[in-house]
Structure formats: C-alpha cells, structure tokens
Amino acid sequence: MSSELFFSTIGDLRARLDSRDLSAVELMGVMIARTKAVEPLVGAFNSFDERDALAQAAASDARRATGATPGALEGIPVGLKDVIAVNGQPLTASSKMLANFVSPYDATVTTRLKGAGAVLWGRLNCDEFAMGSSTENSAFHPTGNPWDVTRVPGGSSGGSSAALAAGEAIATLGSDTGGSIRQPAALCGVVGLKPTYGLVSRYGLIAYASSLDQIGPFTRTVEDAAIVLGVIAGHDELDSTSWKAAIPDYRAELQRKQGPWTLGIPKEYFAEGLDPEIGAAVAAAIAFYESQGCRIKEISLPHTQYCLDTYYIIATAEASSNLARYDGVRYGHRSQQAKDVVDLYFKSRAEGFGAEVKRRIILGTYVLSSGYYDAFYLRAQKVRTLIRQDFTNAFQEVDALITPTSPIPAFKMGAKSDPLAMYLCDIYTIGVNLAGLPAISVPCGFTRGNLPMGLQLIGPPLQEANLLAIAQAYERAYPWSQRHPLL
C-alpha cells in the first residue's frame, strides 16, 4: 500500500479530489485498510464504523458530481477524540462510566466539520475523561506511540496524535485542558494547535475543567491546521463562553504575514528538568528565527513557578463539579449491586471511574469544601490572574513566545507511575490554558533514539493567524513532518 495517500496533506488531497484523480470513496478505502493494518500495534481508536465512513465518502463524491462548490474539507477523513459528540456514535470519554453511551446529538465542531464536507472517521482513544498525559489512563486500552509502540503517545489526546502520525487519518481533533493537544503532538511528531479560549465552541465536548478546556486540531502541517481551524472556529450561541470575533481566512493569512517578528524567550522555561536534546533543538530553532531577521528577546514570566499548583487546584475543582452528574441515575454506568439510592451513587461512581479520575475528583472536592475554599480555590484564582498578567506584560514587548512543548520525549509505558512525575510533563503547557491563550506545537527534530521533539509558540489572544505564520516560517525551513514512522 502506497504511503502517498495516508501521509498526504489536506491541500494535496483536495487538489486530487477536485480534479477527480481520486474519489473520496477510494481515499476512505485506503484509510480503512491502513487503520486495520496498524491498529493492532498502535491502538489509537476506541471504535470506528467502516460502512458509515464509506457512506459519508460516497455522499461527498455525489456532491462533487453535481458541480457544487466543495467544502474546505470535502472528502477528507477526520478523526475525533472520544470526548466530542457525534450523533449516533459512541461517546465514551474512554471510561467505563460511559462505555455503552451513544451520543444523541452533534457537537458544534462536528456540525461544522460535516458542513465542510469532512468524512468523520472513528472515535479516538484518550486518557479517561481527558485526565492524563500519556493515554495510559484509558479504561479500554493504552495507545502506543507510532515511533516506538512501547512508548506513550502523550495525552490526554494520545489517540488523536497517534492516529495522525500512523497515517490512520488525515487530520484529527482533540481537546486541550493543560496541554492535551500540544504535548502529544510533540511526542508524536505532528502539528497540534490549541486555539484561544472561546474561539472554538465547547458545545458537545464532555467537560473536564470548563474554564480551561479547548478543542483544536492535529494536522501534518501548519497550513492544514489553518484550514481546519477556519472550519471549526467562530461564535456559537450554544456556548456562553464563545467569542464574538471575526474569523479571518487563516490559510490566506499565512501568505500575507511574513515577519520579521519580535520573539520572546521566557527564561523560566529553560531551567532544570529540560532534556538536553530538546533544549538543543529549541535553541537551534531560536537561532533560525534570528537568522531570518527576527528580534530575540529574553523575558520573564515570574509566576511560572506557581502554574502547576494553580492548575491542579482549579482543574480538579471544576472536574469535581462537572463529574458530579455521573451518578448512575439517568445515564452512564449503573451499579447492579446497590441496595438503595445512596448506595447506588457510591457504587456506580466507584465502579465507573478509574483511579486518576477518582484522585482528581477527591482533590477537587477537598479544595472546594467548607473551610478550604478560600485557602485553596479562591487563592488559586487570584494567582491565575497574576499568571495571565505575566503573559499580558510579555506581549507588550514581543509578538510571540518560543518554548519547548514537553520537557522530555516520549517515555516508556509504565515509567511514570508517580502522579506528580506525570503532572510535570505538562509544565510548559498549562500556563497557556490558565491564561486562555493560543499556542501551537510544531516538530523540531528527533532525538538520537529517533523520537520526535516539539517546539511551542505562544501568542496573544485571537492572534492565531500571526502564530500560524510564525510556525510555518520554521516549518518551511525544517519540514520534519515529512518523516514518518515505519510500522
């Protein structure tokens, strides 16, 4: 089977589909065959429906045959993390709690993908309820990193990044609460974009931490990220936190915004704990931008040291509230051993949730409890304001920030059994969510062990067009995404 198709970009495939050199059904057939071939090794999917995908592809071909203007993603197979609702498809959050749940409606991003002609392909594995950094917390099975299937793909959107890297989809969607798009993108060698909070509707996304969650794309190139973002971004009346902002043509803006830019290097992001190979790769990227006429300026984000503590107070508090609805009464797992209604609550939740989800619910309930709310949750919200102000101050001086995405490359499955060691994997990404900013991870090389490394670029709110242009400038000079794993 030729890798020409399943490792192609959206732009290249659209050209072939539009010229009738390739049909959507043929493309989908190749994706199905590829998925069946590599899934036993990768395990990126929780489920997929071949007949439904082929029917969607046939409908796309029929629309083209009428001469209608094709949508931006017409005939392109796009996978969705299993926390994003698709009408009539399983919606499990990779949890026993929702193992048999089928969504009765579409998320807003799902509706927009369908409107753009995308072929929705499968339900992608993740850490349970998007809580984790390795996709080992899935209740169903772990996902392997396509570059070394004994290693993790990152998380929580590990299925989304692994499926793309393995050639099982042309683009995928994930959700990012503290780095869950960018970190797995870095570990799998693909592009991952976390948009400004509120730019993409959260309606139909299973909530983890509502003030932090954001849906975004995984793609092979920055241009593909611009294409997908243009489809899913925009105001939604069904999401009260949705921005009422004009959505530019992100793909066209890539050609207009050429720099040079002033780029900031946060000194706090290059401290102890950063893998030397990743540090060297990011330093080389900084040197590239400088060689292109960009002004490089060291800056400080002084409250960075409090990001991890602040995040795990706010995120767990919101998780405790959001997950209270899973009580065994209306939907989700219901214990068959309960003696009365109180027993039903306790046993349904004990049986339905995994260890990491329980850990975060307990922590969140504690910080919200009487006598502790002011000491923990309220104080964390005040520190969050200080963290946001650090970024605001920085963007008075620079157009974007350059940092590593992850402090380490993909690690062996089971290597980080200590929760704190796992939480530290998100040290460079969580500040972005606390501040509601856009950020993108692009591949920036490979370790001596042939594991991908990621470069993170962070921008001011609603400046995705500029951020994408900065990222593409590096990508054009160093097209690491053209390397693919051998499975």
The contacts of residue 425 (CB under 8 Å, 6+ apart) are 133, 134, 154, 179, 183, 406, 407, 408, 416
Residue at 95: amino acid letter: S
Give bridge partners of residue 233 from the DSSP assignment: 200
Q: Are strands 215-219 and 295-299 parallel, antiparallel or unpaired?
A: unpaired
156 part of the active site: yes
Q: Which residues contact 429 (CB under 8 A, 6 or more apart)?
A: 176, 178, 179, 182, 183, 194, 405, 406, 439, 456
DSSP classification of residue 376 = I
Longest CA–CA separation in the chain, Å = 71
> Encoding tokens for residue 257?
């915004």
Active site (annotated) includes residue 180: yes
81 is catalytic: yes
C-alpha 248/C-alpha 228 separation (Å) is 13
Candidates 161, 180, 320, 348; catalytic one: 180
Beta-carbon contacts of residue 480 (< 8 Å; ≥ 6 apart): 189, 442, 443, 444, 445, 446, 452
Q: One of 8, 23, 81, 134 is an active-site residue; which one? A: 81
Token reading at 69? 């203007």
Residue 187 CB neighbour total at 10 angstroms = 34
Is the CB of residue 443 less than 8 Å from the CB of residue 393? no
Q: Which of 60, 94, 156, 161 is catalytic?
A: 156
Q: Are 337 and 108 in contact (CB under 8 A)?
A: no
* Distance from C-alpha of 411 to C-alpha of 134, rounded to nearest angstrom: 9
Q: Residues with catalytic annotation?
A: 81, 156, 180
